[in-house]
Amino acid sequence: MIQYYTGHARPGVLPALDNMHRDRKRVFVDMRKWNVPVIDGQYEIDQFDSEHAVYLISAGDNGEHFGSIRLLPTERPHLLGSIFPHLCGGPPPAGPGIWEITRGCLSPRLRATERLRVRNRLTTAAVQFALLFDIDRFVCVADSAWLTQILTLGWSCEPLGDPILIDGAMTGALQIHISGRTIDQLRDAGNYASVRLQLGDTVSPIAA
């Protein structure tokens, strides 16, 4: 099961979000040395973690975080439109049917086979979420560690511009087209996972 959480909560309110932010700090700050905010020395939380964010989280029964992604509506401030518009060959795509995928985080405690399994479950859940809420396109910013993986998952994906060197890593912007065929595309590429998408503890409502 993948749970989705609508809206952000301050640390100490929702354990699922707390554990996600702890792993984001381990992965992005401790391991990858990103210069991003850290709250209370243990939570990676930035300006886009707001009431408009949606989180897809894979976790154990005890609340242990396995992996997560953050989704942001592009009609609100988001990473590509606000920080990295220069990664696009033209204006960054935005609109009610376009959301941003960002902060894809897999627990550093997972083994390689488990990481692949969680990645596929989160990818499938993101497509399910998109189909449920009439999202026809995802956009994202990805460095070299993720670019190849995203491009080869099987879905219809294309660059929005030429990658450039940012903080020592080639970084580019992508758009991913979502349709009724996307699940079959993931399945054909061997990256589909059978998952159940369920609403977690809701912080703020999302319109269906």
pLDDT tens readout for residues 40-88: 999 999 999 999 999 999 999 888 999 999 999 999 999 999 999 999 9
Q: 206 in a domain, yes or no? A: no
Q: 20 in a domain, yes or no? A: yes
Q: 46 in a domain, yes or no? A: yes
pLDDT on residue 100: 98
Q: What span, in angstroms and rounded, lies between the C-alpha atoms of 77 and 47? A: 9
* DSSP-derived secondary structure for 65-118: EEEEEEEEETTS--HHHHT-GGGSSSSPP-STTEEEEEEEEE-TTS-HHHHHHH
Instruction: Supply the mean pLDDT for the chain.
Output: 93
pLDDT tens readout for residues 148-183: 889 889 999 999 999 999 888 899 999 999 999 999
Q: Which two tokens stand for residue 95?
A: 């609109």
Q: 208 in a domain, yes or no? A: no
User: CB neighbours of 73 closer than 8 A, spacing ≥ 6?
Assistant: 52, 96, 99, 100
CATH code assigned at 67:
3.40.630.30
User: CB neighbours of 112 closer than 8 A, spacing ≥ 6?
Assistant: none
Q: What span, in angstroms and rounded, lies between the C-alpha atoms of 157 and 176? A: 4
Q: Which domain holds residue 118?
A: 2-199
Q: 42 in a domain, yes or no? A: yes
Q: 121 in a domain, yes or no? A: yes
Q: 204 in a domain, yes or no? A: no
Q: Is the model's pLDDT at 147 over the cut of 50? A: yes
Q: How many residues does the chain have?
A: 208
Domain count, the chain: 1
pTM of the model: 0.93
Q: What span, in angstroms and rounded, lies between the C-alpha atoms of 186 and 192? A: 5
